Structure 1
Amino acid sequence: MEKDKLSNEPISSTTQSQRLFTAIAIPDEHKQKLRQWAEQDLDHLSFRKWSDFRDYHVTLQFLGDVATSDIPQLEQALYQAAAEHAPFTLGIGGAGFFGREQFPRVLWRGVTGQRESLDQLYQSIVRATEPLGFKPEERPYRPHITVARSYTGQQPVPTSVWQPNDRIAEPWEVEKFVLYATRMGQKPMYQIIQMFPLLR
């Protein structure tokens, strides 16, 4: 069961816009396992930015800067998208990268389990938000969990990083997705502002 809760921090009504995205929140147990992997197996690697373990998530759709006044309408569309889907199971897969394998731009862990259900949820969210002016990305949807960005090491990343790793906890049931707001300069950087239960 996921333990993420809405933040108690108030969102100022004077804020004109917020940078938002939809995502699958990862249970605390899995975040801790990923943290252990990053700190124990990757401690010899140099990256410009490491994700705070509390921010680990699987992005669904990046929405960009959204006017605060438009958020209620957006949330209504997302509730409707969520209602089209039943809960499904996901797990954490192996390590992967964007950019060059030896000097990756992004290091991530993949997603396993009922990927077709995840893809269908993504498509539903895109369909629900497009009439509101949100455009889907042109590149294919590639679900992943970002662990680090911008490798700065002088030596190539060892191939052992990409080998299968069985330390991550068992799969979990996805019962909802969330709407995150980005809080630049804060740790954790992502704040849940709404949750959308899968109801079908």
Structure 2
Amino acid sequence: MNPDKSHKTNETIRCFIAIVLDGQMKRQIGRIQTAICSSGIDARWPSAQNFHLTLKFLGNISQQALPCIKAILSEAIADKSRFNITFNRLGVFPNARHPKVIWIGPDKTSPDLVTLQRDIDSRLNRCDLFVKEKRFSPHITLSRLRNGAKPDILKKTLEIETGSLLIPVTQVHLIKSRLHSSGAVHSSLFCGNLK
């Protein structure tokens, strides 16, 4: 047996399932991110190129699990039609007293989005023992705070006007994420189209 080949099949890759934004939407959300940045909050700023809406974080998975995950995604979206979601507010995780992440998301969750996420989540246990999502909270991460934020600055930041951003959901991606000192590099391992 070739030792190099054996080593490669045991490698794990960090993955998640997501809705990837188009270039125009990334630019629009990037402008909101820039406005947040100008507030003086001490944070790390994800690249606009990486903006996405996570449906399911898988973590480090084996290469052998990929065919099963791709098949599950194809199956889960086979009967799903395209739809739109509206992102129109800023928020924080876990809460305003201990903010770690600033995000943009909807004030009302789309039933189509919830159904899509649940169908994917419930089928994945056929591939591996992935932890089921307790509460799906659709969002796009705009910043990761280093040391929290002063309440007055955070309040002002969360009042930044986002407008209503209409995000078309036409595809679901399986994304590989490689972490580097300069930030994460994402590449799509699978892309499935909704009807």
User: Which TM-score bucket, shorter chain as reference?
Assistant: 0.7 to 0.9
Residues 151 and 184 of structure 1: is their aligned pair in 2 closer, same or farther, counting only changes over 3 Å? closer
Consecutive unaligned residues of structure 1, counting only runs of 5 or more, are: 1-12
Q: CA shift at 1:136, angstroms?
A: 3.5
Percent identity between the two aligned chains:
21
Instruction: Give the SS at the match of 2:8.
Output: coil
Distance of 2:174 and 2:40 partners within structure 1:
32
Match of 2:3 in 1: none
Distance of 1:47 and 1:140 partners within structure 2:
28
Note if contact 1:37-1:167 (Cα within 8 Å) is conserved in structure 2: no
Distance of 1:88 and 1:164 partners within structure 2:
27
Alignment length (residue pairs)? 186
Residue type of the alignment partner of 2:136:
Y
Residues 106 and 132 of structure 1: is their aligned pair in 2 closer, same or farther, counting only changes over 3 Å? same
- The reply to whether residue 193 of structure 1 matches residue 192 of structure 2 is no
Distance of 1:85 and 1:138 partners within structure 2:
20
Task: Select which of 144, 147, 152 maps to 1:152.
Answer: 147
Distance of 2:149 and 2:124 partners within structure 1:
43
Consecutive unaligned residues of structure 2, counting only runs of 5 or more, are: 1-6
Residue type of the alignment partner of 2:147:
T
More helix by share: 2
> RMSD of the TM alignment (CA)?
2.4
Match of 1:14 in 2: 8
Moved more, 110-119 or 50-59: 110-119
Greater Rg by CA: 2
Q: Once the two structures are superposed, what CA deviation does each residue of 1:58-116 show, in whole Å capped at 9, x if it has no partner? A: 10011111111221121011100111211111122210001341551110001367710
Residues 155 and 181 of structure 1: is their aligned pair in 2 closer, same or farther, counting only changes over 3 Å? same
Residues 91 and 30 of structure 1: is their aligned pair in 2 closer, same or farther, counting only changes over 3 Å? same
Distance of 2:107 and 2:78 partners within structure 1:
23
Match of 1:72 in 2: 67
Match of 1:161 in 2: 157
Instruction: Give the SS at the match of 2:130.
Output: coil
